[in-house]
Amino acid sequence: MGNKELAAIDAGRRPPENRGTANAGKILGIVGPSCSPFPSSS
C-alpha cells in the first residue's frame, strides 16, 4: 500500500504532505512482518 500511495503522490492524485506518512507505512510494511512473534507459514 505504501508504494501505491507514493505513486499516487508522484502522479498528483494525493497531496504531497502525505509523503512522510506513506513512506513510514512502506517501511513498516517491510519491517513489520519480520518482527512478528509468530513464524511465517512460508
Count up the domains in the chain and report the number.
1
In-domain check, residue 28: yes
Residue for cell digits 513464524? 39
Which residues form the domain of 12?
2-35
pLDDT tens, position by position, 12-41: 999 999 999 999 989 988 888 888 777 666
Identify whether 40 is part of a domain: no
pLDDT mean over 1-14: 91
Q: Within a domain: residue 9?
A: yes
12 in any annotated domain: yes
Residue 42, in any domain of the structure: no
Residue 42 has pLDDT above 60, yes or no: no
Q: Is residue 13 part of a domain?
A: yes
| Backbone φ/ψ region at 3: left (φ over 0), alpha (ψ -120 to 50), beta | alpha
Q: Which residue has the higher pLDDT, 8 or 1?
A: 8
Residue 16 falls inside a structural domain: yes
- pLDDT for the residue 38: 72
pLDDT at 40: 62
What is the per-residue pLDDT for 20? 95
In this prediction, residue 30 carries a pLDDT of 86
Q: Is 24 a domain residue?
A: yes
